[in-house]
Each structure stands twice: as structure tokens, then as C-alpha cells.
Amino acid sequence: MLVYLTAECCGYPISIFFIVVNEFCERFSYYGMRAVLVLYFRYFLLWDDDLATSIYHAFVALCYLTPILGAIIADSWLGKFKTIIYLSIVYAIGQVTMAISTIHDITDANRDGTPDNFTFHIALSMLGLILIALGTGGIKPCVAAFGGDQFQEHQSRQLNTFFSVFYLCINAGSLLSTLITPVLRAQECGIHTQQQCYPLAFGVPAVLMVISLVVFIAGSGMYVKTDPEGNIMWSVCKCIGFAIKNRFRHRSSSYPKREHWMDWANEKYDKLLIAQIKMVLKVLFLYIPLPMFWTLFDQKVSICHFSGLLGGLPDQMQTVNPILILTLVPIMDRLIFPLIQKCGLNFSPLKRMTVGMLFAAMAFVSAALVQIEIDKTLPNFPSSSESQLKVVNTYSTTLNVTISPNEHLLIESFGVQLHTSKHTYSTISCMFVNGYTADLNITNLDSIEPSATTNYTLVNQGKRDFVLRHGEQWCEFSRKFGFGASYTFLIPSTVFSDDCESITEVEDMKPNSVHMALQIPQYFLITTGEVMFSVTGLQFSYSQAPKNMKSVLQAGWLCTNAVGNIIVLIVAELGKLPKQWAEYLLFASLLVAVSIIFSIMAYFYTYIDPAEIEAQVRKEQGLEPEEMEKETLEMEEKDEDQKNEQGVKQTKI
């Protein structure tokens, strides 16, 4: 038996230290850049909201599709180590390009603070984003699998812990960068004019990517590196193609059935390759329902982003999620899972993933319940067959208004009857009605003519000051605004003589009375679901893959995320149910249905030890033990030469 003893610390290969630090820096770089990307599109390139979010989503989707490319390069051509290095260089160049594209001074010839040649900045930033997507997606399946490769057979417990620590590093990097880069952007910098400091906000992630690469190269002498076994992906495709063709050629019932359809490749292809393809296909088949989890997960983030369920702090989910991950992963690993095991329950990886999906579904049920509470505080909006009318009485006495022969409204002096405006729940809006006899100027608003109204205007939550002006006359007043509320201010003709005292405030829509704390269960549930689902999925994809296709299966796992993201985009296009809570419940039900299907599929899945199966196939192929030993000895010599070159301590037992 051959065992390699690589440099270890507390039972872990020292090389993984470089890999987790590399992952931390890389995720800092990625999420840091993402945190300011939409702001850059909106306020630097001056794109509208739709274009900015579409390009942002397209970029994210691309980042989850490129792992396939990275996995093919790694498993078929360069090996994981070289692929990570080369694609990290591409990635770092992309980040630097992106940072350069945000320097407004490059094209600001007239020095007015805005770029003069937007085409230049757009072209450079798009080039940067393509390189980043290629780099981040390309190395993603390789880094996790490469980390796994560092462990020996006897370190299976440490291997599982590695994936948890790996996930912790992802979230620590993401948390720090999501907090830091928006602050960097808010600084002012520039050569000719001082502007929002996008170059710093994108430059720091670029530096972190370079550090990530340097750290990875620093560990070079310590890694266990496995070389690719030829163009494995091409062989896999040819083998599958041949099996399908051969099965079709022998479709008549006179031919005896074979145990597995891939066995129809037996005539031409190596049994070992066929066995390996079967292992991969079995896992990929199991992944079919999984995008639904990511659809809900990514929807949750978008919902919090766009409907402002978080009370107007759209980026909160971006930090709450990693904070909870940093807390929940150790609790699960050290407490919950061992406790379940102590109770004699077999909480296998696929069971964990199913429970993870159910937690995500519960998060949506919780969101629906909160939404029902929120809806109770909203006014009744007219249905499609109704309309609403708003009448403002600026006359000095009560007026009787007849709308139709039988309907009468009594409107007090400076009162408002009925309300028609629907607005986003997290915002505060207000409108002014000018009952003064001349034009008025109000802070931050256009001037209003007599008897005219302003549009509803969004204002920030909290206490706000307004100044009303007409020529030399002015008065000042403040009001406190609550989230979700809407107000109309009626300005009487006496406004300047009584120092703004007579301004009447009408609350069109009540402020949000649903406590923020009610949203905590949603975060908790969805993140618990993520820990059970995602960390386990990462481990499972590694453990069930044959040695030469580890990156490919990691890429398959990442693809479930890509498909989930694409479904989010489709759902957004298809429109929404009239009631938000109904939509949440629909998604929750869909995920419960999918988790039931997944649990049935999981029930029929047999966990395998790919190395054992490969050894068995070799044996069946007639590779006698002596031959296998010879083959092993040859491998040992080759590896020993390689390790000696790298200066790694290696012992044969």
C-alpha cells in the first residue's frame, strides 16, 4: 500500500492554507467588484435602471457558465494547478482593466468631471467583465477540487471540514468586500476634478486578485498535483455518442438488453472510462431538480433588493447572509450534525440537501406571512374595473361635491378625499398642493404655480426640513417620515403670515408598522438551508467524482446555480402574481414539490467510492495484481521524482 505523507499541521495538509487564503482573496475581489458594479453602470456610465440590471444579471449568469470551460481545460489539458494560475492571470487583468475603465480623467478633456468618451469606458469595462467572468468562473470548479486533491484517503473527516472552511472563507471575503467597496466608492478622487472614487472601489478588488494569485503560487511547492489523463472530455463525448449510436443500431428486441445504456459502448471503449462516465452521469442526473433551490435563493436576494422588504436598506441581505453563514457553518459542523449522529440518525449528504431545500421553502412561507402583515397596512387599491379620484379642497369652507347623480363627497376646507397613488412600500413619498396665491419654491422641488400640485416625490426616512419661498418671503418647517408612508401637504394662502404653522399634513398611506425583526426568521431559514444544501453539495460533488473528472463534476454543481439564475430572469420577464404573498407561497410549494422528487431520486442513489470502483474495474479488466502493482510502482516512481523536485516530504509505507 502506498501512502504519501505530505507536510501536515493538526492532521491537515499545510498546502490547503494557501488554497483557502487564495479563495478568501478571490471572493473578496469578486463580490467587492459586484457590490459597486450596478452603481458604476447607473452613475458613471449613466445607464438606465433596466439596462444596468440586465447587464449585471447577464454578467453573473456568465460567471456561472464559464466553470464548464475551466473544468474542461483542467481535466483534459492543463491540469488544475496550471489552469488556476493561467485563468487567475486572465482574471487579474480583467479586474485591472475594469478599474482603469472607471478613471473619468482619461477621457475628461474639458475637465467638467464627466467622461467625454463613453464608448471608450463602456468598451473597456465590457472587456474587463468578460475577462473577469472567464477567470472567476474558470477557476471556480478547479480550486475546490484542487483543495480536495490535497487530502489522503485517511483524511476523509478533515476533507469534509475543509469544504466547510472553504465556504467560510468565501463568505468572510464576500462580507468584508461588500462592506468596504461601497465605502471606497463614496470617497472623492480624481486628477483634474474630484469625483466618486470608482477607481479605488474597483482597484482594491484588483489588488486582492493579484494577492490571491501570489498566495496560490507561494504554495506551489507543497501541492499534490494530478496531471490530466489526455483529453478526457473529448473521450467522454465520443464514448457517449458511440453508446447512443450503438444502442440505436441494436434497437431490435432480438438483441439482449444491457444493464446500463452506457454498456453499449463496451465494444469500442475502455471499461474504466465507461464506469467513470456512469458515475458522473448518475450524479448529474441527480442534479436536475437542484436549480429550483437557487431560483428561490437568488429570488430572495432580488426581492429584498427591489421591493425593499428590508425597510429601504437594499444591500442588507448582501451582508446578513455571509454573517449568518459565518455563524451557522461552525454550529452545524460542530454541534448539530454530531448531535444528529449521536442520536443514531443517518443524516446522509443527500438527506441534508433535501432538508436544506425544505428550509428554503420555509423561508418563503415566512416571507409570505410577513407580506400578509404588510398588506394589512396598505390601503385598498382600485381593481382593474375601478378607478379612484382625489379631490383637494383649497377653498375656505366645506364643499359638497357631486360625482355622479347619487354620490356626494363632503370635503372639509383643506381636506383631501380619496387617494390614488400606489408606490413601493419601502419608500416615502410626499406631494404639495399650493393654495397660495402665487408661485412657490420648495426645497429640492420645482416651483409650483398657484392651485397646482407637485408630483409625488420620494424623500428619505426620518426628520426632513423644508423651506418654502416666494420672493423675499420664506418659512421653514420639518416633518418626521416613516417608511412606506405617503403624505400630501396643503399649503394655505396664509402660509407666510403664520410661519408655516397652517400647513396641513394629510397621511395618504400609513407608515410601515411591521417590525423589521419579523424578517429575521426568513434570513435564518434561507441561510440554514444554504449551509445544508450548498456546503454539502460541494462535498458531495467532490466525493462522488472519479479522480480524473473532479473539476467537471464541480462545474456540473455550479451549473445548477447558473440555471437557477436563468430561471430568475425568466420569472422576472413572465410577470408576477397580483399578490406578492401568493407568489412567495407558489415558490415555496414548487420547492417542496421539487424536494420530494429529489428525495425519491436520492433514495435510489447508491453512494460510491470512485477509487474502489476504478480498482475493481481494473481487476475485472484482467489487470493482474502484479500488473497493478507494477503500474502502481511506476506511478510511485513518477510521483516520487515530482515530489522530490518540489521538496515535499514523502514516505512509502
Ligand X SMILES: NCCCC[C@H](N)C(=O)NCC(=O)O
Binding site for ligand X (CB under 6 A): 27, 31, 167, 170-171, 174, 178, 318, 321-322, 325, 530
Secondary structure (H, E, C), 520-562: HHHHHHHHHHHHHHHHHHHHHHHHCCCHHHHHHHHHHHHHHHH
Nearer to ligand X, 138 or 435 (CB): 138
Nearer to ligand X, 31 or 81 (CB): 31
Of 175, 532, 163, which Cα lies nearest the Cα of 332?
532
Nearer to ligand X, 318 or 650 (CB): 318
Nearer to ligand X, 325 or 440 (CB): 325
Least distance (Å) between residue 467 CB and ligand X: 40
Q: Using an 8 Å Cβ cutoff, are 281 and 482 in contact?
A: no
Nearer to ligand X, 129 or 274 (CB): 129
Least distance (Å) between residue 84 CB and ligand X: 15
Q: Using an 8 Å Cβ cutoff, are 141 and 559 in contact?
A: no
**How far apart are the C-alpha atoms of 100 and 125, rounded to whole Å?**
8
492 conformational bin, left if phi > 0, alpha if psi -120 to 50, beta if neither: beta
Nearer to ligand X, 167 or 523 (CB): 167
Least distance (Å) between residue 230 CB and ligand X: 30
Least distance (Å) between residue 535 CB and ligand X: 9
Q: Is 486 helix (H, G, I), strand (E, B) or coil?
A: strand
Nearer to ligand X, 527 or 544 (CB): 527
User: What is residue 446's DSSP assignment?
Assistant: -
**How far apart are the C-alpha atoms of 66 and 304, rounded to whole Å?**
27
Of 336, 318, 289, which Cα lies nearest the Cα of 532?
336
For the chain, count helices (H), then strands (E). 19, 15
Q: Return the number of other C-beta atoms located less than 10 Å from residue 446's C-beta.
A: 11
Nearer to ligand X, 125 or 174 (CB): 174
Cell numbers 510521483 correspond to 639
Q: Using an 8 Å Cβ cutoff, are 628 and 619 in contact?
A: yes
Q: Using an 8 Å Cβ cutoff, are 540 and 63 in contact?
A: no
**How far apart are the C-alpha atoms of 333 and 327, rounded to whole Å?**
11
Least distance (Å) between residue 158 CB and ligand X: 21
For 394, list phi and psi in degrees, rounded to 5.
-100, 10
Which residues on adjacent β-strands are paired with residue 488? Answer: 431, 506
**How far apart are the C-alpha atoms of 311 and 518, rounded to whole Å?**
12
Of 329, 55, 58, 293, which Cα lies nearest the Cα of 170?
329
**CA angle at residue 296 from 293 to 297, to 5 degrees?**
80
Nearer to ligand X, 27 or 278 (CB): 27
Which residues on adjacent β-strands are paired with residue 404? Answer: 407
**How far apart are the C-alpha atoms of 344 and 80, rounded to whole Å?**
39
Nearer to ligand X, 134 or 442 (CB): 134
Which residues on adjacent β-strands are paired with residue 32? Answer: none
Per DSSP bridges, beta strands 441-442 and 462-470 are antiparallel
Least distance (Å) between residue 34 CB and ligand X: 7
The percent of the chain in helix, strand and coil, each rounded to the nearest 5, is 60, 10, 30
Q: Using an 8 Å Cβ cutoff, are 240 and 274 in contact?
A: no
Nearer to ligand X, 115 or 137 (CB): 137
Nearer to ligand X, 30 or 414 (CB): 30
Least distance (Å) between residue 32 CB and ligand X: 10
Least distance (Å) between residue 321 CB and ligand X: 5
Least distance (Å) between residue 355 CB and ligand X: 18
Least distance (Å) between residue 301 CB and ligand X: 7
Nearer to ligand X, 65 or 475 (CB): 65
Q: Return the number of other C-beta atoms located less than 10 Å from residue 346's C-beta.
A: 7
Amino acid 126 reads M
DSSP state letters, 299-311: HHHHHHHHT-TTT
Nearer to ligand X, 235 or 554 (CB): 554
Burial class (CB in 10 A: 0-12, 13-18, 19+), 141: buried
Least distance (Å) between residue 322 CB and ligand X: 5
Nearer to ligand X, 31 or 287 (CB): 31
- Cα dihedral 523, 526, 529, 534 sign: negative
Least distance (Å) between residue 561 CB and ligand X: 8
Least distance (Å) between residue 166 CB and ligand X: 9
Least distance (Å) between residue 356 CB and ligand X: 13
Least distance (Å) between residue 144 CB and ligand X: 9
Instruction: Give the chain's radius of gyration (CA, Å).
Output: 31
Least distance (Å) between residue 315 CB and ligand X: 9
Torsion angle (degrees, nearest 10) of CA 23, 24, 29, 31: 100
Nearer to ligand X, 163 or 269 (CB): 163
